[in-house]
Amino acid sequence: MKFQTILLTFFGIMAVVGLLVFATSDPKKGDTTVPGAQGNVVIWGTFQDTAGLSETIKKFNDIYKKNFSISYQFHDPKNFDSDIVEALASGTGPDVLLLPDDLILRHFDKIELVPYTAVSPGLFSSSFIQASEIYMRDEGLVALPFAIDPMVMYWNRDIFTNASVTEVPKFWDEFLTLTPKFTKRDVRTSELVQSAISFGEYVNVTHAKDILAMLFLQVGNPIVKMNGKTPKSMVAKSDAGQFVADQDVVSALRFFMDFSNPLKNIFTWSRARSDSRNEFINGNLAVYFDYASAYSEIKAKNPHLNFAVAQVPEPRGTTAEVTFAKVHGLAVLKTSKNKSTAFVAMQKLLFDANPAKDFAAAYNLPPVRRDLLAVPPTDAAMAVFFEAAIRARTWLDPKPEISDKAFQAMVESVSSGRNDTATAVAKLNTELDVALSRY
């Protein structure tokens, strides 16, 4: 397999960080000696410290206990950015970050890049899912992908059955006819009591920014693109001194907004509705978009909910099937006091089959390696997650909290009537460029 050549190409990494003696080990043959690697490698990430993760780390450390070990510290996603900044300022940071894709730009200057002499672009692309290419730069790799959480479509089987709908939608335009079938109102108050889809608002739509980003990516807009070493917003372009919104993005936003427009026959969502995740869990929402990681939580909160998962719909006539995903990659910090061993640990976590498989299994997620994705699972939901991982894409977010406000302002300016969709997209472009200017 091409992926196995990573074992050889990582020799280049060891040379970069000054590890002069490095011998490979094969756990299957009982040879787990790694000369030169020593001490403990501290990894920070935003995955909850579950029993499955603890067992994965224990098994890994048992294999390499002659030389080194790893330890993991969970950090709340809301505080991860500030935790990193504060720790590095005080000289107490970790060796490795399990870096989310939306913090790549934010912490790029703190990362020890993996040179392409160690892992070539061709090898990287052929070994990992396409969404992981978000870590590629002209100078090298910001991180090596270790986890992916793709977005899928959750659907209520009872609502579909009651409406005599036999198939889940594969294309977005199918919602134009399905929405009236799924939408119900209180006969006395005319208030919405059952919705088809939670589009058109922001504050009560779980992952609203990511859903919008998915729609933009599906029409072929990357949202942000690297222009050499400079990131640039792409949702609008300069024309005669003015920013003109990408018409495909405008159409995607208009489609999203129409479901909350009471003047449209597809009106099905409003601010009066509860949070979209709760509405789905309570059985009042036909279709709900969330990550694969939400599957267990939904089942736990309502064991009686009759639901299933499917791939997110596509624009009709699209050339590439795309969904959205959160990607997490292993990145060695420049401030690490044990860089050489940190790179060894990263290589072992990625190359050894069991850590990569066990980590994904601990969170009911698909793996990031193409060779592992090539073996289809028998579980129906997991099979959807595997396929979604292959289709997944993401974008270069300048800073999550800033972009979240920019996307919210875009949606609410349209819903309030302050701006039309084209103007709102152009303003989003400006806000993103301001946020990107610091990089």
What tens-digit pLDDT sequence spans the chain (439 residues)? 444 444 344 434 443 443 333 334 555 555 566 777 899 999 999 999 999 999 999 999 999 999 999 999 999 999 999 999 999 999 899 999 999 999 999 999 999 999 999 889 999 999 999 999 999 999 999 999 999 999 999 999 999 999 999 999 999 999 999 999 999 999 999 999 999 999 999 999 999 999 999 999 999 999 999 988 899 999 998 776 677 999 999 999 999 999 999 999 999 999 999 999 999 999 999 999 999 999 999 999 999 999 999 999 999 988 889 999 999 999 999 999 999 999 999 989 987 768 888 999 999 999 999 999 999 899 999 999 999 999 999 999 999 999 999 999 999 999 999 999 999 999 999 999 999 999 9
Q: What is the CATH number of domain 150-323+395-436?
A: 3.40.190.10
Rounded-to-10 torsion of CA 83, 84, 88, 94 = 110
Contact between residue 252 and residue 244 where contact means Cβ atoms under 8 Å apart: no
CATH match for 2-148+327-385 among 3.40.605.10, 3.40.50.300, 3.40.190.10, 3.40.1050.10: 3.40.190.10
SS3 of residue 142 by DSSP: coil
Q: Structure pTM?
A: 0.92
Per-residue confidence (pLDDT) for residue 5, from 0 to 100: 44
Partners of 26 in beta bridges = 31
Within the chain, how many helices (H) and strands (E) appear? 17, 16
Per-residue confidence (pLDDT) for residue 318, from 0 to 100: 85
What are the tokens at 259?
């479901």
Per-residue confidence (pLDDT) for residue 31, from 0 to 100: 55
- The DSSP result for 255-267, as a single string, is HHHHTT-TTSTT-
Per-residue confidence (pLDDT) for residue 142, from 0 to 100: 96
What does the alpha-carbon distance between residue 392 and residue 384 come to, in Å, rounded to a whole number? 12
Say if strands 242-245 and 236-239 run parallel, antiparallel, or are unpaired: antiparallel
Per-residue confidence (pLDDT) for residue 50, from 0 to 100: 92
What does the alpha-carbon distance between residue 212 and residue 223 come to, in Å, rounded to a whole number? 10
Contact between residue 71 and residue 65 where contact means Cβ atoms under 8 Å apart: no
What does the alpha-carbon distance between residue 317 and residue 144 come to, in Å, rounded to a whole number? 33
What does the alpha-carbon distance between residue 49 and residue 38 come to, in Å, rounded to a whole number? 24
Per-residue confidence (pLDDT) for residue 351, from 0 to 100: 78
SS3 of residue 390 by DSSP: helix
Q: Dihedral sign for Cα 57, 87, 399, 106, please.
A: negative
Per-residue confidence (pLDDT) for residue 21, from 0 to 100: 31
Extents of the domains making up the chain: 2-148+327-385, 150-323+395-436
Same fold, 2-148+327-385 and 150-323+395-436: yes
CA angle (5, 147, 301) in 5-degree steps: 155
What are the tokens at 432?
């993103």
